[in-house]
Amino acid sequence: MADNPSLFVLLLAGGQSRRMGGGDKNLMMLAGKPLLSHVMDRALPSGVPAMINANGDPARFSGFGLPVVADVVDGFAGPLAGILTGLETAAQDYPQASHVISLATDAPFLPVDLADRLMTAIAGGADMAQARSHGRRHPVFAIWPVSTAAALRAALVDEGIRKIDDFTSRYNCAIVDFDGDPDPFTNLNTPADLATAETLLGG
C-alpha cells in the first residue's frame, strides 16, 4: 500500500430523508449554511478532488462547485452503489487517485482529522479502513482502494450484496476509533435532531 495515498473524496448525498419530511436533508440550513457545507468544511481535505453522489436533478447542488454523479448501477438502494460510483469515477477521471474516502453528508460534527487518520490506517498496511465511535462502527465513513472497483461491481451486480460489511469482510479492514461529545458521527434524521445541532453549534 502507498504510504501517502492520493485521495479522492466521495460525498454520499443520496437517501430519502423521510423522517425529515422528504427532500435533501443535506441541503437544510444549519447555523447559517447547508448541512452539506458543514461536512465539506470539516472533513474535506484541502486540495483534494471531490464529487457528490446523488440521483435526480444535479442542479440542486450547483452551489457547491463539485461534479454531481448519479449511481452507475440501477436499482441498488444503499451506500454500496454510491461507493462503487465513487471508485469508478476516480478510476476514470482521476487516475492519480489510489484511494477514495466516502462521507455521509448529514453529520455536521465530523472529526477534522478523519481523512488523516483513515490514511494512517492504510499506511499501516490495511486494505481499507472505517470509522468507529463509542463502540459503534460507521461503515460509510471509510477509505477504499480504487483497485477494488471491479470486485465491488461484481459483488453488487452478480452476487446481489447490499451490506457494506458483507463486502469489507473480504479484506483487511481496519477500524479507526474516534471519541467526543457530541458523538462526531451523529447524523441528523429528524427535525428535532436538526434543532439540537443548531443549539450545539450556537445557532
In a domain, 65, yes or no: yes
Query: Would you write out the chain's pLDDT as a tens digit for each of its 203 residues?
Result: 334 459 999 999 975 555 445 568 899 999 999 999 999 999 999 889 999 999 989 999 999 999 999 999 987 668 999 999 999 999 999 999 999 999 999 999 999 999 999 999 999 999 999 999 999 999 999 999 999 999 999 999 999 999 999 999 999 999 999 999 999 999 988 888 888 888 988 75
Q: SS3 for 30?
A: strand
Whether 126 maps to a domain, the answer reads yes
Cell of 120: 494512517
- Please tell me the pTM assigned to this model: 0.92
Residue 1 lies in a domain: no
Q: Are 163 and 156 in contact (CB under 8 A)?
A: no
Q: What is the CATH number for 149?
A: 3.90.550.10
- Domain count within the chain: 1
